[in-house]
Amino acid sequence: MDYHLARNGQQLGVFAEEEIQPGIATGRFLPDDLCWSEGMADWKPLSTKFSAPATPSPPPFSAAAAAPFNPYAAPQSNIISAAMLPRLKLASRGARLGAAIIDTLIILLVITVPVVIGVVLMGQAEKAGGNDVPVAAVACFAVAGLATLGLLVWNAVWLTKYGQTIAKRMLKIRVVTFPDGQNAGFVKAFLLRAVVNAIINQFVPLYGIVDACFIFREDQRCLHDLIADTTVVECEPGA
């Protein structure tokens, strides 16, 4: 099994399990270095996964370590910074904004345009004194409905398989799980990140603005990323 090691918020690299125990014995790795591997819910000190050497060297003095334990102190959160993400390059804010704009334009093109044409045709028929809905208008509404369904299925399949909408594929960025960078799948990439987020946006005032502003966090994760436990990264070369 491979482990990602970090010290003082900086990645040390990825090391095989067989390297770590000797590394602790020689002082290459410290017992309080953080480690993470696939299947672990959070980063843990090496001392919780590997035994310390028989004759450890005395650790450097630390005021925090010397302070007595306070059972009433507030719990400390283990925040994973962007620098600790294993082998991931976050997508730029500009690329994410561009993908959102392109996806919106695609929706307007394939859905709004047929609906507008259908409404215009109905208006013209009404002015002409007709009581029936024109066949052409019905066809436009049918095209809009089929386009909505088709676009929904298309994005659902692509998000499930590749972590991409049409626009994200064009800009070579994708949705992955946080922090391990794995395929997010249907539940996280589509159901939680898109559908649930859209439902919340319909009922919570200003939610869309607040969601977008979260992009300025250090890890660039919006509210829908936090809901789905995902992030957006650049595609690897050749992917």
168, two tokens: 């994200």
What is the residue-averaged pLDDT of the chain?
82
In tens, the pLDDT along 106-125 reads 988 888 889 999 899 888 88
In tens, the pLDDT along 170-204 reads 999 999 998 888 899 999 999 999 899 999 999 99
The predicted structure's pLDDT at residue 77: 47
Say how far apart CA 174 and CA 91 lie, in whole Å: 8
The predicted structure's pLDDT at residue 17: 82
Q: What number of residues does the chain have?
A: 239
The predicted structure's pLDDT at residue 233: 93
3-state secondary structure of 11: strand
Q: Phi, psi at residue 177, to the nearest 5°?
A: -75, 155
In tens, the pLDDT along 17-74 reads 888 888 888 888 888 888 888 878 778 888 887 776 555 555 555 555 555 555 555 5
The predicted structure's pLDDT at residue 71: 57
Question: Which pairs with CB-CB distance under 8 Å and at least 24 residues apart come from 22-25?
Answer: 24/50, 24/52, 24/53, 25/53
